[in-house]
Amino acid sequence: MRLISGNDYVKFMTEQVVTYIDLPSEERKKRKVKQKNPPATYSSRWLGILPFALKTIWKKAE
């Protein structure tokens, strides 16, 4: 793991903020909506509630 110095971190954060501000407002809104609604996991999307129920039962049995 590489540690980042304070100067490098400030530079990185400044670049991120500037690129975000340069985006059109429509693109920012799309990103915000996408982050609020993360895609469903593979197991729940294809198999429904069954994997969740089995995982819960398995954790309780431990």
Rounded Cα gap, residues 21 and 23, in angstroms: 5
Query: Does the pLDDT at position 1 exceed 70?
Result: no
Rounded Cα gap, residues 46 and 62, in angstroms: 26
pLDDT of residue 2: 72
Side chain identity at 14, as an amino acid letter? T
Q: Where are the domains of the chain?
A: 6-61
pLDDT of residue 49: 80
Q: Is the dihedral of CA 50, 51, 52, 55 positive or negative?
A: positive
Q: What is the pLDDT of residues 2-47, one digit of tens each?
A: 777 888 999 999 999 999 899 898 998 888 888 887 766 666 666 7
